[in-house]
Chains A and B, each alone.
Chain A
């Protein structure tokens, strides 16, 4: 288990299309987070799972966004009816209950909506 994996690395889609991203966290980590990052900004929190339960969603996460973590393992983030403003880097991170070691982030999925 080498870290957090995200797929795809890059996605170009036409406005109005649906996209889905996948995140495979570190297997021992029960906490999983999705963040979004635009150029020149820090990552912004989107949603958080503890095991399979989605415990918090940001107000940034409109009705077009949905995230799942079936069986508390991998997670998916779906964006429906994409808009140009959705273009960003989508980052997944995982952590264990002990916060001493911070979050482990994946390399992200770069979404471009044209």
Chain B
């Protein structure tokens, strides 16, 4: 069956460090992968999209890698700040039916001052 796995345990890091979040998937052949940020009680906010033929994508302090051989994406936040504390979701386009995003369960990031 298709699975998108993100670490369910919260990631605690100190301000200024680099946060690295992992997204692993099975039984997908995604054309692209997306990362979203979600704050409590709010809808997800789109951050980055990376295509299958791209190894890496950057946006300001954010970096995403995509390894289709390992079936894994890594999401990095450099120079992390307490304001980066949130849940981060990865999402893939479904293989079946019409294009729609299928989300992982998300990983909560806590950045301490």
Taking Cβ atoms with an 8 Å cutoff, the residues of A that contact B are 4, 33, 35, 40-45, 48, 50, 55-56, 91, 93, 99-108, 110
Contact = CB atoms under 8 A, between A and B. Distances in A.
Nearest to A45: B100
B113 interface: no
Interface residues of B, number: 27
B42 A107 contact: yes
Residue from B94, B98, B101, B103 having most chain A Cβ neighbours under 10 A: B101
Nearest to B96: A56
Interface stretch (B44-52, B60-68, B74-82): B44-52
A106 B43 contact: yes
Contacts, number: 60
Interface of B: 4, 8, 32, 34, 36, 41-47, 49, 89, 91, 93-94, 97-106
A42 B49 contact: no
A55 B23 CA distance: 28
A72 B47 CA distance: 27
A100 B43 contact: no
Nearest to B97: A56
B95 to A, nearest CB: 13
B49 A99 contact: yes
- For the complex of A and B, the 4 pairs showing the least CB-CB separation, nearest first, are A102-B46, A105-B43, A42-B103, A42-B105
B42 A55 contact: no
